[in-house]
Amino acid sequence: MKYDYLIVGSGLFGAVFAYRAKMAGKRSLVIDKRSHRGGNIYCENIEGINVHKYGAHIFHTSNKDVWDFVNSIVEFNRYTNSPVANYKGTLYNLPFNMNTFNKMWGVVTPTEAQAKLEEQKADVKAALNGREPQNLEEQAQLLIGKDIYEALIKGYTQKQWGRKCTELPAFIIKRLPVRMTFDNNYFNDKYQGIPIGGYNKLIDGLLDGIEVRLDTDFFANRSELESIAEKIVYTGPIDEYFGYKFGKLQYRTVSFEMTVEDTSNYQGNAVVNYTEAEVPYTRIIEHKHFEMFGAEVEACPKTVISKEYSAEWESGMEPYYPVNDEVNNELAEKYRESARKEKNVIFGGRLADYRYYDMDKVVEKALVCEV
Catalytic residues: 175, 179, 252, 283, 308, 356, 358
Residue 235 CB, nearest approach to ligand UDP (Å) = 19
Q: Which stretch binds ligand UDP (CB under 6 A): 32-40, 170-178, 292-300, 336-344?
A: 170-178
Instruction: Establish if 275 lies at the interface with ligand UDP (CB under 6 A).
Output: yes
Contact 85, 273 (CB under 8 A): yes
Residue 350 CB, nearest approach to ligand UDP (Å) = 12
Number of residues that bind ligand UDP (CB under 6 A): 13
Query: 29 to each of 23, 67, 364, how far by Cα in Å?
Result: 14, 26, 22
Residue 173 contacts which entry, ligand UDP, ligand FAD, none (Cβ below 5-8 A, type-dependent): ligand UDP
Residue 328 contacts which entry, ligand FAD, ligand UDP, none (Cβ below 5-8 A, type-dependent): none
Contact 212, 42 (CB under 8 A): no
Q: Which is nearer to ligand UDP, 225 or 305 (CB)?
A: 305
Residue 85 contacts which entry, ligand FAD, ligand UDP, none (Cβ below 5-8 A, type-dependent): ligand UDP
Instruction: Establish if 270 lies at the interface with ligand FAD (CB under 6 A).
Output: no
| Residue 310 to residue 287: CA distance in whole angstroms | 19
Q: Given candidates 3, 5, 7, 11, which one binds ligand FAD under the rule CB under 6 A?
A: 11
Contact 127, 151 (CB under 8 A): no
| Residue 87 to residue 89: CA distance in whole angstroms | 5
Q: Which residues of 142-159 are buried (b: 16+ CB within 10 A; e: fewer)?
A: bbbbbbbbebbbbbbbbb
| Residue 274 to residue 356: CA distance in whole angstroms | 23
Q: Which stretch binds ligand FAD (CB under 6 A): 65-73, 204-212, 279-287, 346-354?
A: 346-354
Residue 160 contacts which entry, ligand FAD, ligand UDP, none (Cβ below 5-8 A, type-dependent): ligand UDP
Contact 179, 97 (CB under 8 A): yes
Q: Given candidates 46, 107, 128, 176, which one binds ligand UDP under the rule CB under 6 A?
A: 176
Question: What is the β-pairing status of strands 271-274 and 283-286?
Answer: antiparallel
| Residue 77 to residue 58: CA distance in whole angstroms | 11
Residue 54 CB, nearest approach to ligand FAD (Å) = 6
Q: Given candidates 5, 6, 10, 104, which one binds ligand FAD under the rule CB under 6 A?
A: 10
| Residue 289 to residue 291: CA distance in whole angstroms | 5
Instruction: Establish if 279 lies at the interface with ligand UDP (CB under 6 A).
Output: no
Q: Which is nearer to ligand FAD, 129 or 223 (CB)?
A: 223
| Residue 146 to residue 42: CA distance in whole angstroms | 38
Q: Given candidates 15, 18, 31, 94, which one binds ligand UDP under the rule CB under 6 A?
A: 94
| Residue 272 to residue 89: CA distance in whole angstroms | 11
Contact 252, 160 (CB under 8 A): yes
Instruction: Establish if 28 lies at the interface with ligand FAD (CB under 6 A).
Output: no
Instruction: Establish if 349 lies at the interface with ligand FAD (CB under 6 A).
Output: yes
CA-wise closest residue to 275 among 91, 151, 138, 100: 151
Residue 96 CB, nearest approach to ligand UDP (Å) = 9
Instruction: Establish if 31 lies at the interface with ligand FAD (CB under 6 A).
Output: yes
| Residue 195 to residue 128: CA distance in whole angstroms | 45
Longest pairwise C-alpha distance within the chain: 69
Instruction: Establish if 178 lies at the interface with ligand UDP (CB under 6 A).
Output: no
Instruction: Establish if 332 lies at the interface with ligand FAD (CB under 6 A).
Output: no
Binding site for ligand UDP (CB under 6 A): 85, 94, 152-153, 156-157, 160, 172-173, 175-176, 273, 275
Binding site for ligand FAD (CB under 6 A): 8-14, 31-34, 39-41, 54-59, 217-219, 235-236, 254, 320, 349-351, 357-360, 362
